[in-house]
């Protein structure tokens, strides 16, 4: 019996999305990886086809779908074996801040473009000296009449080059309590004082445009405060459950896909003895062990998806899933490459890209050490 209750409408959506990705996205992935960026029109195609922000209300142009549509999008995007068009980040991590905390005017202004793909979003939290510890951020936001002046540097910002809208976390320097000093601000592309820095070179995530962002006396109107002033830290904490769950969903799908490729390769290629690799006991044992881990991860994850969709607080369990499944991803990628042999080190081997891409998943959205610390705290340790 399946844990998740996918309806016929969900299954039809998955089929349409898989067909769309096969026709419009996957054929271009190798070029995007070589270019280190995805063209903006790919985002617009995704939006026009109804595959961005599937949860958004129809009044803004969305389909009003449940959380399972987001799960389907994350899983099917993982099957494209690239991370540049990271619709999950845009649709299910960043834009929900606007939907949950934005004013009616902000929602009407931004949500339709986010849904259509005309507005690509980024969230700027990480700084050169402030990663997992958000309270250590140095970026400032000071009032000047009806404007806010932003100053500071952000780094490792996904969608940093393509972003048309950035949600920026910054501190009020007059507030001494670091947890009450943080607010979130909406900064549009082209705002004076907002500049993009380097397009960062990375060991993986090649087509993901990760960048530095700089704010130098960047003036935005006061109405661009997102949510209540001084509540930025709490808003970020509130949304981290879904962010880390989405990370686990993407990691689980990647592990399943890499194992699928490996099993197919072992069945269709021979070893030094001239027999299919899959007939080797060593290969069989390795595959069975990996498949067991993947199925354990899937069962745990699907239960969390149900709980999250029902509105339950599963912060501890989500932290556990994020660290365990992303660590599993690294293990699966390494063991799969071993079974590919010499072919595994070539760019023709799809797991080679997966091996690079999964490495950072244990770092972003809060390092796995932080995840364990969160779980330990709630366990009273």
- Catalytic residues, which ones? 243
Tell me the three-class secondary structure of 157-177, residue by residue: ECCCCCCCEEEEEEECCCCCC
Place of tokens 């490459």: 337
Buried b (16+ CB within 10 A) or exposed e, 198-218: eebebeebbbbbbbbbbbeeb
CA–CA separation, 194 and 29 (whole Å): 30
53 CB-near residues (< 8 Å, 6+ apart): 62, 90, 91, 95, 111, 114, 115
Residue 192: both structure tokens together: 């004076």
**Which DSSP letter does residue 310 get?**
T
Q: Are 253 and 75 in contact (CB under 8 A)?
A: yes
Half-sphere exposure of 295 (CA within 13 A, CB side): 7
Backbone φ and ψ for 219, nearest 5 degrees, come out as -100, 125
Q: Are 358 and 250 in contact (CB under 8 A)?
A: no
Tell me the three-class secondary structure of 338-372, residue by residue: HHHHHHHHCCCCHHHHHHHHHHHHHCCCCCHHHHH
CA–CA separation, 191 and 220 (whole Å): 8
Cβ-based neighbour number of residue 190 at 10 Å? 7
Phi-psi region of 214 (alpha: psi -120 to 50; beta: other; left: phi over 0): beta
Residue 130 DSSP SS3: strand
CA–CA separation, 269 and 351 (whole Å): 16
Residue 35 DSSP SS3: helix
Q: Are 180 and 230 in contact (CB under 8 A)?
A: yes
């Amino acid at each position: 019996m399946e844990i998740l209750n996918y309806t016929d409408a969900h299954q039809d959506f998955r089929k349409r999305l898989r067909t769309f990705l096969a026709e419009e996205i996957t054929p271009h992935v190798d070029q995007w990886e070589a270019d280190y960026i995805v063209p903006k029109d790919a985002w617009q195609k995704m939006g026009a086809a109804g595959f961005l922000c599937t949860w958004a209300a129809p009044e803004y142009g969305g389909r009003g779908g449940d959380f399972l549509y987001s799960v389907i999008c994350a899983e099917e995007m993982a099957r494209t074996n690239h991370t540049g068009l990271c619709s999950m980040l845009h649709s299910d991590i960043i834009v929900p801040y606007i939907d949950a905390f934005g004013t009616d005017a902000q929602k009407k202004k931004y949500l339709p473009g986010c849904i259509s793909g005309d507005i690509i979003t980024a969230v700027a939290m990480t700084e050169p000296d402030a990663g997992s510890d958000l309270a250590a951020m140095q970026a400032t936001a000071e009032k000047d009449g009806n404007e806010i002046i932003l100053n500071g540097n952000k780094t490792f910002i996904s969608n940093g080059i393509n972003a048309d809208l950035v949600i920026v976390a910054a501190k009020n320097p007059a507030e001494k309590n670091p947890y009450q000093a943080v607010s979130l601000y909406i900064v549009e592309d082209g705002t004076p004082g907002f500049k993009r820095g380097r397009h960062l070179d990375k060991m993986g995530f090649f087509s993901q445009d990760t960048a530095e962002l700089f704010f130098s006396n960047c003036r935005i109107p006061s109405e661009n405060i997102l949510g209540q002033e001084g509540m930025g830290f709490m808003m970020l904490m509130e949304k981290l459950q879904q962010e880390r769950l989405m990370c686990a969903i993407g990691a689980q799908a990647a592990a399943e896909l890499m194992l699928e490729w490996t099993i197919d390769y072992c069945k269709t290629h021979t070893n030094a003895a001239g027999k299919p690799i899959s007939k080797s006991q060593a290969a069989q044992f390795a595959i069975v062990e990996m498949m067991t881990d993947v199925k354990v991860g899937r069962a745990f994850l699907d239960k969390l998806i149900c709980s999250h969709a029902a509105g339950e607080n599963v912060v501890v369990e989500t932290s556990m899933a994020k660290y365990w499944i992303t660590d599993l991803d690294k293990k699966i990628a390494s063991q799969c490459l071993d079974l590919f042999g010499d072919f595994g080190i070539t760019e023709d081997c799809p797991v080679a890209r997966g091996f690079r891409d999964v490495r950072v998943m244990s770092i972003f959205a809060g390092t796995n050490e932080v995840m364990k610390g969160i779980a330990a705290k709630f366990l009273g340790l």
